[in-house]
Structure 1
């Protein structure tokens, strides 16, 4: 830091913050060399796992391990975290011969991690180690070792794990995403493990889940006059109404926007039939369409609502942007 900058000043905070980002960015860039044959071998071990991937680590490595396990689990690789200290006191029973273990230790000499290795080896469980020391005990005992060494920590004392935990986290993300692609994991698969959040709603909800159906669908016949259309729009609250034939097939659409245009043209709304002013060739969707797809269609075509047709091309529903908003799709 420049001598004229006080560490407790705004300039000092900014300087230190940028320095941390520079060090950790360099650590991530250096990880490119660690994505090698060892990385591919680790992926092969993990994808062949018949049970669960068990992640373990102490301290900050344990926190990173928990996140790696969560990322694996949400991207198609069943995984959970086991605290190595607890493992020595009974939790090792959670590990079965069908599992694969990822052990994390920057030094590769963490006592709590090393103490559970004999049991892991006795079970014949494959072991992937993430360490910053290729010559460490953990690295040498692993079936595959991934080197997450960094040239320096962001902590100026070199004590608090900073760049090293970032590098480890990045390696975990790289494993998870590589496995995701290898499994052919899809957005729908992801949504199945996130059903409660907005993401799950965006990915799982279909038009049939949000549309207005039956008597709630705004609908009039082609011989109705404009005032009747306005009454239907007002009662159903979607800002539009469909115009259908005797078989409930869509003939056209009339919206609030159409009303504004015909008023500018001084059309007699008490005498003119809706068939004379309705919009034909409407954009429609189907009940089975994903709500997220319907949203994209509406945004692309710059429309506020959609009519839903079944396989026989009859009107079965309608919805607008407000319905998507209420459903959490937007």
Structure 2
């Protein structure tokens, strides 16, 4: 496969370490890699029985997120049982879980589940089947618990740019702005952003002021993962296929618009030659690698990009498609999309 093909995410093959520990398939050297992660104490059969007994009254509020204790047995074990602040192995009276079930919690909440009746009262009425005494006995019999050290807090993280960040970055790096896509208009007395033409592929958040008058401008914003309070759409930071498709279309059209904009020095500063001469083209590619990615391509990388992207798109009379292709390539590069 051509290394310059548009790839948002490469699937990683993960090998299993200590029961689910993710180990990079790349070779690891002791000097450059952190020590192996420490797996936590596994859940026992009794722990699973306790979880299943509490689950009907607890999972409504604790099935996901950082307090998703009842999402699975593994979550119950790693998030609750192995947390000495909640479960003190061998000491039920010092366990916040027991205090919450008995209605004498010491934190923000005095009891769990939240309501007029404590869990102990639900047991006495027959609504709950697992007794507090059974929970106490389980904690009394627990041995020392080792918390799972995963995920590694020092592990490198990558984040996909949001729709707002994509729009701002494109405006800045391509030398474009609001006025290149919209004119001010009125709709029932409200300020609106009137598109200068759909062929420009404008995008604007429905929550922006002024909001886009054309529905498709907001839809394109959602295609990049943008959320909206007005439209009740949640933001999406995943590299979804819709994001890839939208960014591909927008990057190509906006690069062309930037190249055609009079006196635009964002891509070709004053004195920079926009020609078909290989030396001039390669100088531009090296400059663009720093401009878009913050990293300067080596001569070998520039030569490969020139041969694989610029040359196939150039024509004897017009270099615009080739420059558009290279410009779009940098915007769709993983180092641009993720940070």
Alignment TM-score, normalising by the size of structure 1 = 0.29
Give the strand-richer structure, 1 or 2: 1
Alignment TM-score, normalising by the size of structure 2 = 0.28
Give the helix-richer structure, 1 or 2: 1
Q: Please tell me whether Structure 1 or Structure 2 has the larger radius of gyration of its CA atoms.
A: 1
